Amino acid sequence: MEGTLAIVGFGLSTIGPGTATGLIFAAYINGVARQPEARSILQPIAFLGFALAEALALFGLVLAFVL
Amino acid sequence: MLAKAESGFEPPSAADFEFQPIFGNSIYFTKPVFMVFLSVLVISVFFITSARKAAIVPSRMQFAGESVYGFVRKTIGEEVIGPEFMRFMPFLFSLFTFVLVNNLFGIFPLLQFPTMSRIGFPISITICTYLVYHFVSVKHKGLLPYLKEICFMPGIPKPVYLILTPVEIATYFITRPLTLAMRLFANMFAGHLLLLIFTLGGEYLLHGGLIFKFMSIFSFSFAIGLTFFEFGIQCLQAYIFTLLSALYIAGALADEH
Exposure b/e, B15-49, CB count within 10 A at least 16 = b: ebbeeeeeeeeeeeebbbbebbebbeebbeebbee
B187–A47: do the CB atoms touch at under 8 Å? no
**pLDDT band at residue A1, thresholds of 50, 70 and 90?**
low
What confidence score (pLDDT) does residue B6 get?
52
What confidence score (pLDDT) does residue B5 get?
45
- Please check whether residue B96 lies inside any domain of the structure: yes
How far is B115 from B42, CA to CA, in rounded Å? 14
Q: Domain range spanning residue B247? A: 16-253
Residue B110, Ramachandran bin (φ over 0: left; ψ between -120 and 50: alpha; else beta): left
What confidence score (pLDDT) does residue B2 get?
47
Q: What angle do helix axes B31-52 and B60-71 make, rounded to 10 degrees?
A: 110
Q: Do residues B17 and B118 make contact, with C-beta atoms less than 8 angstroms apart?
A: yes
CA distance A62 to chain B (A): 6
- Please check whether residue B5 lies inside any domain of the structure: no
pLDDT in tens, B53-71: 777 888 888 888 899 999 9
How many Cβ atoms are within 10 Å of A15's Cβ, its own excluded? 11
- Please check whether residue B4 lies inside any domain of the structure: no
- Please check whether residue B8 lies inside any domain of the structure: no
Below-70 pLDDT ranges, chain B: 1-7, 256-257
Provide the number of CB pairs (under 8 Å) joining chain A to chain B.
35
Number of domains in chain B: 1
How far is B179 from B236, CA to CA, in rounded Å? 16
For chain A, say whether B190 makes contact (Cβ under 8 Å): yes
CA distance B7 to chain A (A): 15
Q: What is the predicted ipTM? A: 0.77
**Among residues B3, B223, B241, which one has the least CA distance to residue A55?**
B241
Question: What single DSSP character describes residue B107?
Answer: T
Q: Which residues of B touch A55 (CB under 8 A)?
A: 179, 182-183, 186-187
Q: Which residues of B touch A62 (CB under 8 A)?
A: 182, 185-186, 189-190
Find the angle CA(B115)-CA(B117)-CA(B122) to the nearest 5 degrees.
80
- Please check whether residue B1 lies inside any domain of the structure: no
How far is B253 from B87, CA to CA, in rounded Å? 12
What confidence score (pLDDT) does residue A47 get?
84
* pLDDT top residue among B226 and A3: B226
Tell me the average pLDDT of chain A.
Answer: 87
Stretch 14-53 of chain B: residues touching chain A, C-beta under 8 Å:
14
- Please check whether residue B92 lies inside any domain of the structure: yes
Task: List, in order of start, the domains of chain A with CATH numbers.
Answer: 5-66 (1.20.20.10)
Q: Do residues B231 and B187 make contact, with C-beta atoms less than 8 angstroms apart?
A: no
What confidence score (pLDDT) does residue A2 get?
66
